[in-house]
Amino acid sequence: MSKGPMGGGHGMPRGPRPKFNPGTFKRIIKMLFKFYPVMMPVTIVCILFSAVTSAIPAIFQKMVFEDIETFVKGGDWELAKQTILPKIFILIALYVVSIITVTLYNQLMVFITQGFLNKMRCHMFETMQTLPIKYFDQNKHGDIMSHYTNDVDTMRELISRSLPSLLQAVVVVLSVLGIMLYYSLWMTLVVLAGVILMAFFSKKVGGGAAKHFMRQQKTIGKAEGFVQEMMSGQKVIKVFCHEKECNEEFDKVNDELYNASFRAHGFANCLGPIIGNMGNILYVVVATMGGLIILSNIPNYSISALFAGGATALSIAVMVPFLNMSRQFTGNINQVTQQINTVVMALAGAQRVFEVIDQQPEEDNGYVTLVNCEIDADGNISESDKRTGHWAWKHPHSDGTLTYELLQGDVTMTNVDFGYVADKLVLHDVSVYARPGQKVAFVGATGAGKTTITNLINRFYDIEDGKIRYDGININKIKKSDLRRSLGIVLQETNLFTGTVMDNIRYGRLDATDEECIEAARLAGADDFITRLPQGYDTQLSNNGSNLSQGQRQLISIARAAVADPPVMILDEATSSIDTRTEAIVQRGMDKLMEGRTVFVIAHRLSTVMNSDVIMVLDKGRIIERGSHAELIALKGTYYQLYTGSFELE
Amino acid sequence: MIKKLAKSIREYKKPSIITMILMVGEVLIECLIPIIIANLVNKIAASEETGLEMGYLLKTGLLLVGLAILSLGCGGLAAFTCAKASAGFAKNLRHDLFTRIQGFSFNNIDKFSTSSLVTRLTTDVNNVQMSYMMIIRTAIRSPLMFVTAIVMAYIMGGALATTFVVIVPILIFGLFFIARKAMPAFRRVFKKYDKLNESIEENVRAMRVVKGFSREQYETKKFTTAAGDICKDFTKAERIVALNGPVMQLCMYINMIFVLIVGSNLTISSKGADINVGQISAMLTYGMQILMSLMMLSMIYVMITISLESMKRICEVLDEESSLHNPENPIYNVEDGSIEFSDVDFKYSHRAEKASLSGVNLTIKSGMTVGVIGGTGSGKSSLTQLIPRLYDVSGGCVKVGGIDVREYDIKTLRDSVAMVLQKNQLFSGTIKENLRWGNENATNEEMIEACVLAQADEFIKTFPDGYDTYIEQGGTNVSGGQKQRLCIARALLKKPKILILDDSTSAVDTKTDAFIREGFKQYIPETTKIIIAQRIASVKDADMIIVMENGCVSAVGNHDELMQNSDIYREVYEQQIGGGDFDE
């Protein structure tokens, strides 16, 4: 609910002080018309029509009143009826039209608002899927999330409520302004001066509110951070009996939040009474000024006077309707000021949404694709649309010819340099050769660049200098999705999806049968514990599989990679939370699966990498030792130190 | 439920009540002003023949200005008292929630996820704050507005006011019918909407997996379907609510037409004796006010229903009873570090099918070093967590110092049993501040002593700020091994009788690990040390090694005995030590 579309959660979006940006506003309007080329104009016409029809009846009311005045002395209803009833019938007709238009635009507005929000969400999600990993590494997940929750929701109020009411208010204000000018220029100026004063005050008070809202947002963030830290460390707090101290500290943050929130809402609540009562005072001022003008006989300039040929004296007959007009005028101005906050907030939200939509998607100029293939007796390769167990790279050349290259899993990196930020290299001159069927391991301290290497092979990031080739093809030429399809990755941080265990395993290959999934789980050593779960493979997982242990989650993610049956596998600390006995089972399974295929292993536990064909020891982005376990032990270098336990990893 | 939450208002009852009183003032003035204005206009209109009386105009003007200032005073003051009341209520609510959570046992903590607790403390409380503000401002205002308007209408319009007897019930029925129909629809959608947001979060978090498996299109399709579904539901619910305006207008128009027809008939028939034009126009104004206040009431109704979900979630926490209680006459002294398990069975929850521990019998003498090994989920952590009474046994009993742990004062027990948890955590603050968790009054010497023992002193000294180095949230600026050693030092500062290390040296290199164990043996020989480890080397020299499997004790003995008797132990040993070229 908190994140509900009522937007009750956060009063103001985070980030810098919201500014009115006409460009964003225009863009929203444009999109509305683009999405709803028919509905939108119809809605606007309905809104305008209802604004007009709500104004006209006042004239008929006045006419009826005048009729009553004329007939009241006669006291003959039968006679009066003939004059009054027709006017009332016209009134009824107008009301009927008004209700129809109001109902129509209210219903249409619901469609437009919800549809627009939905389109924004989907558009944003679709764009997000195409963004490079860099974007997700650089932005906090909470921040990305708030685009969907806070930011999109701010636009809801804007479209469904503020736009129609602003439109109506503008129509009314303009027509009332015209009528006021029709009566008297001087008095109109008085009203306008009052309105300017009102605008000034609302800006001052509103600004005060905004300042405190910002502070409130900031302290909410602080409180959230504190609570988050304490809640996640709750067990430690218990073990150390530290509850009292935590309570005291929380109360401090809590008080701060209270102070900011109290002021922010206080100022915001003030706005209504201030503007409303300024309207009342303005009324008195206008009445007094009118009286003075009449008494002092100052010539009255007005549109009506213009037609009459020059200035006339202000009369009471003009003053009475004028006073009524001024009330309507300030009432509508009040309505506009009430909407300003929503509009500014919505524009700030919209701007953030557009920032996501305008992000550059991940570049992909690859044209080499991965296909299933069949090999005949002579070793010729032909493409197949069935799953054959063999893959080939389909390589179109500039001269229009096509070649097929059998996928083998030969990965080479030559003199690769790389840095996540410019001029801060993380990898220096790294060269790795992995022959098909080899198991290549990387060991090294945290930050040595192990994971970076795998980020480069699957092109989550692109290299600065050097070359990476896959079966002799520069990986920049391979279509990213095909490149990644050919690499199975199991990451240290396991991420499971909401759904059954079976769904999660099938994520590796969507067309895998239940049997294939179970087979993969068996290979990964996961079958044993899965079958012991209450509902076995149909056990529902939620919240990133929070009902499983870290080790069990890792086993499922290995099964997920296994069902994809990839030619090359990257295991990044994939077994770090699995006990050594189970790990041995997993390893046996993986060795069987990956027989003849290439495997990259990253681990800090040496028992995980010991049986690799080549072990690379990384330090500060450089490969400092390479060789098999026996060779490295014989070398008596860093690996030897690690192995004998006189050196600490991480 | 509302009663329960209302308890948290406490000292903010006063501003709440003041707000309501101020609102009464504001409403009364607001009803008064139109009457005066109407009189003024009438007077001015009437003066067309007699000429304008400036004196009267100024006098009434001043009265109006005075009233406006009074109204502004009431409104402005109420704006702040009401903000104070609601912000204060929210503060108390957060305080109550936080305190309640601090009283939770491990069992209670397991029930709520961290993020759900954070949401409850922030956004849910915020929702309640907003609706409370709305309620104290309008709950008095709208009914009062309604009543005064009706009364005024009767005074002014007499018989004409009967129209409200018909219109008001129709409108009330209409508005509340709409609200009743829309609310369940909204609640359903909100739940779905929360789910959608969860799935976005899941997607963002798992982006590497999504891209790794090239599942971008699959995810987009999944999302579009779910979002489209929600959009449809939302539209349905919103369309019902969108009827509010037209229904309201319909009633207003019916009222106007009725007043105009009947009013003009009455006026003319009675030659203006029963009723006059001024009254008719007043009736129209009050009619508007009555309908408006009803509209406000229906909005409050909607608002409360919407925040009901938040209230429910807050109450869930407030209602959660801690599953561990201090005994009636607790014992405040722990004799020694001896531990006894007799026929211990343990389940994390009543509903769990499988027991986490069953039939455990162990006797550990004070001062012993005990190693515990076993596979993932074999019950090692569960076993040790029963000693400081983080959980209560389901059957049998655990004794410390010869006395059942359930008879001790909890704080006394936990101060004597220091536990370094597997999923450990440092808090943002300096190293010193973190260490003081173990003992608030620890001197610098004591802290250094503990750190030397935990092999942490050496690396702390290499930091530019030494013991005043600031630790980031979650301890991200120290390495895993360093973090573990700081956690051990923190536990040592308690000077415990029993020290439990739950896989606490996994990231520490084997040599340092050995130093730590050696230090324990030399400097805290009376303390019972229980070491859970994956590494055989960490437990090999213990006086007693417990091998756990499937929640049962599979074997107990020292290294040599277990090499003889336990297949599991031997298997793990051979796996890790391998060909024997391990030179420890």
Residue A481 sits at the vertex; the CA angle it makes with A478 and A487, to the nearest 5 degrees, is: 85
Measure CB to CB from residue B264 to each of A64, A265, A510 and give the nearest one.
A64
Q: Which residues of A touch B54 (CB under 8 A)?
A: 291-292, 295
From B75, B231, B537, residue closest to A273, measured CB to CB:
B75
CA neighbor of B536 nearest in space, from B564, B512, B515, B513: B513
Q: So what's the pLDDT on residue A487?
A: 87
By mean pLDDT, which of B11-15, B258-262, B279-283 is the weakest?
A: B279-283
Phi, psi of A548 (to 5 degrees): -110, 160
Nearest residue to A98 via CA among A39, A60, A54, A44: A54
Start-to-end CA span in chain B (Å): 64
| DSSP string computed for B264-310 | HHHHHHTTTSS--HHHHHHHHHHHHHHHHHHHHHHHHHHHHHHHHHH
Q: Is A261 on the interface with B (CB under 8 A)?
A: yes
**Residues β-bridged to residue A411:** A434, A470
Q: Of the given ranges (A116-120, B132-136, B291-295, B348-352), which has the lowest mean pLDDT?
A: B348-352
Residue, of B272 and A462, whose pLDDT is higher: A462
Local structure of B441: helix, strand or coil: coil
Shortest alpha-carbon distance between residue A135 and chain B (Å): 10
Say whether residue A229 is in contact with chain B using an 8 A CB cutoff: yes
pLDDT grade for B365, boundaries at 50, 70 and 90: very high
- B557/chain A closest Cα distance in angstroms: 20
Contacts of A148 in chain B (CB under 8 A): 197, 200
pLDDT value for B261: 86
Nearest CA in chain B to A104: B246
What is the architecture of the domain spanning A22-357?
Up-down Bundle (1.20)
Residue B200 has what pLDDT?
A: 84
Chain A residues in contact with B200 by the CB 8 A cut-off are 125, 145, 148
pLDDT above 60: residue B175 = yes
Is B398 a residue whose pLDDT tops 70?
A: yes
Q: What is the pLDDT of residue A66?
A: 79
Closest Cβ opposite residue A284 in set B61, B210, B423: B61
Pick from B277, B388, B583: which is nearest to A68 by CB? Answer: B277
Burial of B11 per CB tally in 10 Å (0-12, 13-18, 19+):
exposed
Cα end-to-end distance, chain A, whole Å: 41
DSSP A415-462: EEEE-SBTTB-SEEEEEEEE-TT-EEEEEE-TTSSHHHHHHHHTTSS-
pLDDT in tens, A501-529: 999 999 988 889 999 999 999 888 888 88
In this predicted structure, what is the pLDDT of residue A313?
A: 67
pLDDT of residue A9: 35
For residue B496, what pLDDT is reported? 92
A29 touches chain B (CB under 8 A): no
* Residues on chain A touching B480 (C-beta within 8 angstroms): 446, 650
Chain B CB within 8 Å of residue A251 CB: yes
Q: Which tops the pLDDT comparison, B299 or A257?
A: A257
Question: How near does any CA of chain A get to the CA of B63, in Å?
Answer: 10
| Mean pLDDT (whole number) for B112-124 | 80
Q: CB–CB of A281 and B65 under 8 A?
A: yes
* DSSP β-ladder status, B395-400 and B429-430: unpaired
Q: Does A39 touch chain B (CB under 8 A)?
A: no
ipTM, two decimals: 0.81
Contact call for B80 and A269, based on CB within 8 A: yes
Pick the CATH number of A411-644 from 3.40.190.10, 3.40.50.300, 3.20.20.370, 3.30.1780.10: 3.40.50.300
- The token pair at B502 is 């739950």
Domain boundaries, chain A: 22-357, 369-405, 411-644
At position B411, the amino acid (one-letter code) is K
Asked if A644 lies within 8 A of B571 by C-beta distance, the reply is no
Set of chain B residues whose Cβ sits within 8 Å of the Cβ of A238: 104-106, 109, 390, 414
State whether B231 and A145 contact (CB < 8 Å): no
- Split at pLDDT 50, 70, 90, the class of B48 is low
Binary contact (B306, A8; C-beta < 8 A): yes
Distance CA A215, CA B479 (A): 35
Residue of B nearest to A265 (CA): B83
Instruction: Summarize pLDDT for B503-557 with one digit per residue, the tens.
Output: 888 777 777 888 899 889 888 999 999 999 877 888 888 999 999 988 899 999 9
Q: Which of A345-349, B8-12, B448-452 shows the lowest mean pLDDT across its residues?
A: A345-349
Q: What is the pLDDT of residue A281?
A: 87
3-state SS, residue B91: helix
- Whole-model pTM: value is 0.77
A209 versus B157: which is more confidently predicted? A209
Closest to B228 (Cβ–Cβ): which among A99, A118, A133?
A: A118
* Predicted local confidence at residue A12, as pLDDT: 38
Distance to chain A for B313, nearest Cα, Å? 10
Query: d(Cα A593, Cα B58) in Å, to the nearest integer?
Result: 97
- pLDDT score at B343: 93
CATH topology of domain B339-576: Rossmann fold (3.40.50)
Place domain B2-319 in its CATH homologous superfamily: ABC transporter type 1, transmembrane domain (1.20.1560.10)
Q: Helix axis angle, B162-205 relative to A77-130, nearest 10°? A: 10
pLDDT of residue B544: 94
Please, what's the b/e burial string for A140-156 (b: 16 or more CB within 10 A of its CB; e: otherwise)? eeeebbbbbbbbbbbbb
Q: What is the mean pLDDT of residues B149-172?
A: 80
Cα–Cα nearest to A413, from A444, A358, A452, A357: A452
Q: Residue B71 above 60 pLDDT? A: yes
Interface of A with B in 471-500 (CB under 8 A): 480-482, 484-485, 487, 489, 491, 495-498
Q: What is the per-residue pLDDT for B581?
A: 34
Q: Please judge whether A145 and B123 are an interchain contact, meaning their C-beta atoms are less than 8 angstroms apart.
A: no
**Dihedral sign from CA coordinates of A346, A348, A352, A357:** positive
For chain A, which ranges sit under pLDDT 50? Answer: 1-18, 648, 650
Min distance A122 CA to chain B CA atoms (Å) = 6
What distance in Å separates the CA atoms of residue B580 and residue B584, rounded to the nearest whole number?
10
For chain B, what are the domain ranges? 2-319, 339-576
C-alpha span between A585 and A525 (Å, rounded): 6
Give the closest of B95, B119, B511 to A2, CB-based: B119
Quick one: pLDDT at residue A111? 92
